[in-house]
Structure 1
């Protein structure tokens, strides 16, 4: 099979980690008889420097014409003083909207070899955990009406949280279907004791739970969920929540695995085309130094094979290679806090993964 992949390398360590994932995909393609065609496009700060816009029209058209999209990272201090509409991060909201990507899947897994890297107590992570956060991606406060106005105490800023029935139902269906393919346990996280949007969210989720009687469904307030993730992460299987809550909780979940450099993500819509990216940022402090951990991006490529191309065996191959490398004790600098030894560079870690494919 032949697949076209749009590469959005972006800023900071983005080019390094995307290049690593490309090498892994090429190796998998050679092993299983697939051809991956890669076309780079500009996004974020590098796009601003070249075109004056964080998301050029050429990038949007190229992504729409591709079978899937692999993204590195955007942003950095160089562009921090630009107005909101011109910042690199604006491109992320724009490309998600342009591609109709309303679902973000963020798995958080504690690898047995990295148990000592988790900041949680040994007794809490003894049984390990592997959960999936299903985050609504194109609605809520990040896309609502915003601005500045004269308020009760003088000039004020406002951002509006809004959700429609359609938006809640479509993310809810993804969550219930995901739970059906896993351990059939779903927790919906909201703030229904305060927010009207959360009350509607909870009403609709309860309605949908009747369609999925095989799924053990429950609600949890977001502040309690933040505590429960560090108290007992093993209690969770699938979590579904809104855009902002999902943004925050998925980063918390990534940190308790030991390193944010390990976590992949998939942004999906109503078609097979998705956008796949590590959840960490552009790490400008180590950009160009060959120190970045490529594993999250490599695992994002595995998610692409699984969700966009239905290549389960090939995705498993990548994930098993990462497992093998970690079990053998190989570590990048971000994983060395508790294991000791010499840190592998980005390219060296990539080579180790390639050796195990």
Structure 2
């Protein structure tokens, strides 16, 4: 794989040819992925972090389905939990991801108390500079939803904005929280969104912002997105922008108008959850976070499910479809298609649905049905 030579994308610093991994690996952030996932003895090693709440159950579902489909993936599992404040466990997971360069992850619990630790989810993305979050919201045949023909992609900047985590008490009773927007990181997420649209035959990119109020921070985000659009408009991609509160209303009234959406971090968290509601919940929405050399695949609407964890009722579809995205990233397209078709066939039959979809099927029963439907 690494013996093939590819031309780097034109950048101010990188304009020559060097030995690279194949450029067509699904949704990777850059075509010039310099290192690539680790493969030994014909199998890829993938870091698995099941997460908290329903994470262990839906991760088990993925492992069983992958095994049944003879997927050439070996999971290196790290049982990191947000209920622990162990920095050792976090760093072990980070080192595993650095070594393997690709991971599958459930959602980690983050305490709301001011005395609790910072989000491990955010820490992983910042440490590995996985700046592009991608969430896919699309109707699935057989799954009832309020809207039809929903097919949109939410791309959020993953490392700054309100999630910069810069807060302090200036005087007792007054807290200041800094929102960070930079031209450099806005430009790279904007380019990611337009590149994604090109690679996936999408026609419209919508910038979501609040520039009417936050004229400097969101104003910068909007201005840079417009500038980047000028480099892509000759390729047939359209562009518009929308204020975030209007976006929320438009999503629940006419979501079909959206195609690819790009936005700062906090807005992306909110919009992805609204979009999940359009397709009947968080259980069917896959996603991933991408960086220069690393990728983590995880449910697109980041809910822990602490209240139902361990009860064998969770819908593993979002985790399974995130696993399908992982396989496409690894260029295991045949395995990805077989598993994806089995998921869609199971949901389309309508008689093996989990409780969130109106059925009474358990997680393990649903998983077994998918395995039976693998062609």
Scaled by the length of structure 1, the TM-score of the pair is 0.87
Q: Are 2:326 and 1:326 equivalent residues in the alignment?
A: no
CA distance in structure 2 between the partners assigned to 1:288 and 1:237 by the alignment: 36
CA distance in structure 1 between the partners assigned to 2:192 and 2:209 by the alignment: 17
Q: Are 2:87 and 1:45 equivalent residues in the alignment?
A: no
Match of 1:8 among 49, 55, 60: 49
Match of 1:158 among 176, 179, 184: 176
What is the Cα deviation at residue 54 of structure 1? Answer: 8.2
What is the Cα deviation at residue 344 of structure 1? Answer: 0.9
CA distance in structure 2 between the partners assigned to 1:356 and 1:332 by the alignment: 16
CA distance in structure 2 between the partners assigned to 1:107 and 1:252 by the alignment: 12
CA distance in structure 1 between the partners assigned to 2:152 and 2:226 by the alignment: 21
Listed as ranges, the gaps of 5+ residues in structure 1 are 337-341
Deviations, residues 144-184 of structure 1 (Å, cap 9, x unaligned) = 5211112xxx6211211111111011101110011112322
Query: Which residue does 1:345 correspond to in 2?
Result: 362
Match of 1:57 among 79, 91, 103: 91
What is the Cα deviation at residue 74 of structure 1? Answer: 1.8
CA distance in structure 2 between the partners assigned to 1:142 and 1:194 by the alignment: 19
Q: Are 2:167 and 1:146 equivalent residues in the alignment?
A: yes
CA distance in structure 1 between the partners assigned to 2:284 and 2:88 by the alignment: 27
Q: Are 2:335 and 1:314 equivalent residues in the alignment?
A: yes
Match of 1:131 among 145, 152, 155: 152
Q: Are 2:107 and 1:107 equivalent residues in the alignment?
A: no
CA RMSD of aligned residues (A): 1.8
Aligned residues: 327
Q: Secondary structure at the match of 2:340?
A: helix
Listed as ranges, the gaps of 5+ residues in structure 2 are 1-41
Q: Which has the higher helix share?
A: 1
Q: Are 2:209 and 1:168 equivalent residues in the alignment?
A: no
What is the Cα deviation at residue 113 of structure 1? Answer: 1.6
Deviations, residues 214-259 of structure 1 (Å, cap 9, x unaligned) = 2111111111111110110111110001100001000100011012
What is the Cα deviation at residue 353 of structure 1? Answer: 1.2
Q: Secondary structure at the match of 1:145?
A: strand
Scaled by the length of structure 2, the TM-score of the pair is 0.83
Q: Are 2:254 and 1:232 equivalent residues in the alignment?
A: yes
Retained in 1: the 8 A contact 2:107–2:121? Answer: no
Retained in 1: the 8 A contact 2:141–2:344? Answer: no
Query: Which residue does 2:124 correspond to in 1?
Result: 95
Query: Which residue does 2:316 correspond to in 1?
Result: 294
Deviations, residues 168-225 of structure 1 (Å, cap 9, x unaligned) = 1110111001111232211111111111111111111111111111211111111111
Retained in 2: the 8 A contact 1:107–1:265? Answer: yes
Retained in 1: the 8 A contact 2:135–2:287? Answer: yes
